[in-house]
Structure formats: structure tokens, C-alpha cells
A and B are shown apart, each in its own frame.
Chain A
Amino acid sequence: MKPLYLYPLWIRLWHWTNVLLFIILIISGASLHYAGARDWLAFDTVMLVHNTAGIMLTIAWLVFFIGNFVTENGKHYRVKFKGMIARLIEQSYYYAIGIFTGEPHPFHVSTEMKFNTLQQLSYIGVMYGLMPVLIISGLLFLFPAYLPDKFMGIGSIWIVAMTHLVVAYLLILFMLTHIYIITTGETIFSNLQAMLTGWHKGKRYE
């Protein structure tokens, strides 16, 4: 089978922009979060960097959201519920056992569906669940004047802070897993290469 062109330029640019912004936001976010009396990064500067990168990530997310409507990329995010549980079990079994015993990958990439079900659900969870929550809580941080002082008896800014924090931790968790999982392709670097060139190569799917 010929190599598949899975990642158009805009997706690749969007992806690597996210990578860069994630790194900047994690470093600056951790620096703000764990700020103390003596910091190796100046609080005011880091705050500016974090806010700016956060706004850029919001724009990147909008590009993704709109892009999925106006291009055919959105189809990869449409869940096929029929047989979903079975596919999830199959995929989980592969990662837990099959991958060690040399069993073939249960999912075959195609231009119609580039994600396996486990992958698809995680990406949907991240892009349509966690990311909007992260962005909204981040924006509320920037405009706290529009918040009520208290929400259900608790300082509302504290709720925003905790939401932003927990979602940020979850996204770091996603990122770590994501970086590892992409090494489970044809070769360790084949998925990485595909996100760089756009082309997915593999004899397994021939």
C-alpha cells in the first residue's frame, strides 16, 4: 500500500504550535504556581509569557475547532458507537499484552480514520473537553472582575484556580502518555515522522 497523506500542512503547523505553546505554558505555569520568595524566573515576566501563550493557545484551539468544520479533518473525530466497547477492549488488550507478545496491531490507519478508538476518545476528551475548560478558566483568570465573589459559598476565583490547575495536570498527563504512545507505531519514530512530513508510511498496512 502506498504511503498515506494523513496530516495536511495546517494540521502539522497547528500540532507543532501546540507543542511549543504547551512547553512554554507548562514551564511558565509551573513557575507561577510554585512561585516563592526566590525564583529563577521573574514572576512578572513569566506572568506575561503565560498569559500571551495562553491567548495564542486559545487561537490555536479555535483554528482546530473551525478547521474541523471547514475541512474534512472533522471526520476523524466522529465517534462510531457500533462495536465501540469491543474495539476499546481490543485496543487496550493490545497495549497491555499484545504489544509484548508480538501480536499485530488491531487497528489499521486509513485516510478515513487515522485514530484507533482509544486514541480517538482521548483526543476528543482533550480537545473538546479539557481544552475548552482550560481556556475558559484561563480567560476567567484574566478577567476576574466579571466573576461573582462567591459561588456556592466558595470564593469563585478559587474555583477557577483549582479548575485551571487540575485540567493543567490532566493535560500534562495526556502529553506524557501521548509522547509515549506515538512510539508504538511501525517503528519508534514512524508516527513522529508522519507528523513532520504528513505522510504515514508502513508495510504493516500493505
Chain B
Amino acid sequence: MKNSFYVKITAFFILLTALHTGFANEIKTAKTADCLRCHSMETLAYRDTVTGEIVNLYVNFQQYQQSNHKHLECVACHTADYSDYPHSESVKEEKLYCLDCHQEDSKFLPYQFAEIEQAFNKSVHALKSPHELTCFSCHDPHQFKISRVGEKISEIVRYDNEICLKCHASTLQTESKIKNATELIIRHEWLPNLMLHWESVRCVECHTPATAGFSHNILPAKQSVKNCVSCHSKEATLLTSLYKYRSEEDLQKTGWFNKAVFNKAYIIGMSRNETVDRWSLIILGLTLVGLFAHGLGRVFTHKGNNK
């Protein structure tokens, strides 16, 4: 009987070790594993008693593993006291702020987090919903993945546009904001080849100021780009910001934009060049004036000659 007990205990520990080894291949620390025990359940959520909204507490571990934060333990960011189960009410008060980590470390300098914050503060998101919207409203830190040079453009476009559509094409109708796909389509009706644009161009290309780098200053609809030429002509800012995902080498090799867009016989604004247009119209205008003056001169001198 006693032997049988030891056998069972040993078997249990062998099994536990085996399970733990397997799990540890995926999860680095016991703490993260502890968290995921509950938070990897898709149904983990609660209803906020104040707002009445369902707050989702689920973390998709597979996506987390592919995210930029995959090397971080949960507690690296979530520093409140999570030792009790269920966690105490106070953890709701925990304020997470990207720049806590991203400002100090010099390795994040290239990503210009301080500039991002400045631009975001000027954006329509920050101005219209100052407390509602934070970095996390668009960027889920559990799955955030920075776009990388060389990635398929269509994938980058899809990934980035989904962030916008999560709110702007939601079926939830709230207040005066554009919240459904139909209204989104109506508002973009002026845009030729709408679906082609949405599949090939990120929302932010038109809805942020035209700068060479990406700006987090999301503009109000009225200030967004509505001029075909600003994207379609040479050295246009859109081209620059799309191109930045590609290495120079890649560009020289394939010239994807030429292939993808210019393969269609003609697209709006392709022939536009402000300098050529301006000077050509000036020359044509001056020619007309000159010819008219010449004609007038002939009329007057003809009368004079006939006298």
C-alpha cells in the first residue's frame, strides 16, 4: 500500500516535470505561466459595473509570442499586486503607459516615442477624446508588431487598416462618430476604385499630415488628403512613406509600385507635374495674348494703311 503511494507520488512528479518541461518551452517563466492559466482562456472577461461594457481579459498567447513584447514577462508591465485570486479591485486602477519603458532606454530612440507622443497629442483622437484614447486603443501591446522592411506590403496595409477599422467599421453605433462600415463607404465615395485603395493603401497615408516619416497626428476628416495628385504624382509623400518599408535594393530590383499601380494603363495624376503645368500654361497664355495683340495690330494698321 505504502509502495503504491510512493509510486503514485513519483509518477505524479514525473508527469508534472514532463508537463512543465513542455510548457516551459513556450513560456519562459513560472509567473507568466501562472497568469496565462486564466488569461489564455478566450472567455475570460467581466462586465464593468460603471460603464456596463464587457472588459476582455483574454491574452492570445500565440499572437503574444509573435509580438515585439514576446520576451517580456507579464509582470514587467503589470506591476500592481496580482497575488490574490481573484485580483483585488485596486488592480483596475493600474495605469499603464508606453513611455515608462520606451522613453528611458536609448535603444528605443530610433522609434522616436517622444515625437510620437507629441504628434498624438495634436491628433483628432487626443483632442476629441482626451481621456478615452491612449496608445493601447490602437496598439494592443500583447500583439503589437512593428512593420518591417521587406514584409509584404499588402500584409502591412491589412494589419494597419484593421487597427482603424476595429473602431471605425464596428457595428456598434455610438454617438456621432463614424462607427459603421456603410457610413465609412459613403464618406469615401469620392475615391475612385475604393476597394483597391483600401487594399493597397493604409488609412493613415491620407489621414495623417504629409511627412516623410509616419506621423501619429491623425487628422480630422476635413483636413485629410483628398487630392489624387498628392499621392499619384512623382515624389509624392505617399510614395515616400510607402517606399520606406522597402530597402533601396528591393526597390531597384522590382519597382513594385510601378508594377502594381502603373500597369493599369493610366491612373489619375500620373502625368501631373506642377512645374511643367505652370510654365506650359504661362507660355500658352502669353502666346494667346501675343497672337491677340498681333491681330489687333493688324486691324488697326490695316485701317491706317487703307486711308
Contact = CB atoms under 8 A, between A and B. Distances in A.
A180 B294 contact: yes
Q: Give the dominant DSSP class at A's interface.
A: helix
B167 to A, nearest CB: 25
A84 interface: no
A173 B234 contact: no
B305 A142 contact: no
Nearest to A163: B271
Contact of B227 (A37, A142, A157, A169): A37
Given A100-B298, A183-B295, A37 B226 contact: yes
Interface stretch (A6-14, A106-114, A143-151): A143-151
A155 interface: yes
A51 B264 CA distance: 13
Interface in A94-127: 95, 99-102
B137 interface: no
B12 interface: no
Interface string A162-206: 101110010011001100100110000000000000000000000
17 contacts: A32-B271, A34-B272, A37-B227, A51-B265, A95-B294, A99-B301, A100-B301, A102-B301, A102-B305, A149-B254, A149-B259, A150-B252, A155-B262, A162-B273, A166-B276, A173-B283, A184-B298
5 shortest A-B CB distances, which residue pairs? A149-B255, A102-B305, A169-B280, A100-B301, A161-B271
Interface of A: 32-38, 43, 47, 51, 95, 99-102, 141-142, 144-145, 149-150, 155-158, 161-162, 164-166, 169, 172-173, 176-177, 180, 183-184
Given A99-B301, A156-B258, A176-B288, 19 more contacts: A32-B268, A34-B272, A35-B228, A37-B191, A37-B226, A37-B228, A43-B192, A43-B268, A51-B265, A99-B298, A100-B301, A102-B302, A141-B265, A142-B265, A144-B265, A155-B262, A157-B262, A169-B283, A177-B291
Interface of B: 190-192, 226-229, 234, 252, 254-255, 258-259, 262-263, 265-266, 268-273, 276, 280, 283-284, 287-288, 291, 294-295, 297-298, 301-302, 305
